[in-house]
Chains A and B, each alone.
Chain A
Amino acid sequence: KNEVEQSPQNLTAQEGEFITINCSYSVGISALHWLQQHPGGGIVSLFMLSSGKKKHGRLIATINIQEKHSSLHITASHPRDSAVYICAVGKGGATNKLIFGTGTLLAVQP
């Protein structure tokens, strides 16, 4: 079993819909990261959080440390949100190594 699991693997939405992507992990962590990767593109960090909730524009990330679960929400989705969203956890320690989920492919249709 992977230490970081994301669901769903694929998601298709209509423009304007509210979107939720989930991430569950099975290890102790120092922080959880959400990343975005556009097709053929680089990887961009969206959020890093270790408790509670963060918001940036139409994106909201939450984490429940006790349940080892995080969600990424996109409000009023737009076709430009189409990308792969990747969850990663940092286990702490001396090197800031991350363990990555396999990603959620989101397609937002106009």
Chain B
Amino acid sequence: DAGITQSPRHKVTETGTPVTLRCHQTENHRYMYWYRQDPGHGLRLIHYSYGVKDTDKGEVSDGYSVSRSKTEDFLLTLESATSSQTSVYFCAISLTNGPYEQYFGPGTRLTVT
């Protein structure tokens, strides 16, 4: 199994509070991704990173920011959580940008009340 961990695994927070989710990898993969998974939707890309300090937006990036100061860590921040951000969040990693498998973390279930 690819060495990917996410923390926390579960979180309940109140509307308006900031939340940071962490993805940590031990594989030294260059590409990292944050997705959200909601019923009726496929996994949707929030932000991705193609190297340290190199990040870009995905299709559902509004209300989210990311940072990557080290190869192994990719942080997703909800500056002011809203109920629409209640979701399961998955981190993934990929070795290259070519046709290559993505390996997924275990997911974080976030509930915003």
Q: A96-B31, A97-B58 are in contact. Are A102 and B42 (CB under 8 A)?
A: yes
A102 contacts B102, C-beta separation under 8 Å: no
Residues of A within 8 A of B41 (CB): 102
Our pick among B45, B101, B106 for the contact of A97 (Cβ within 8 Å) is B45
Contact B99 A50 (CB under 8 A): yes
| Interface residue? B50 (CB, 8 A) | yes
Q: Chain A interface: which of B18-26, B61-69, B89-97? A: B89-97
Looking at A33, A97, A99, the one whose CB has the most chain B CB atoms below 10 A away is A97
User: Which of A2, A42, A96 has a CB less than 8 Å from the CB of B104?
Assistant: A42
Cβ of B42 and Cβ of A100 under 8 Å apart?
yes
Q: Which residue of A lies closest to B38 (CB)?
A: A102
State whether A98 touches B104 (Cβ < 8 A).
Answer: no
Residues of A within 8 A of B (CB): 2, 4, 30-31, 33, 35, 42-45, 48, 50, 86, 88, 90, 92-103
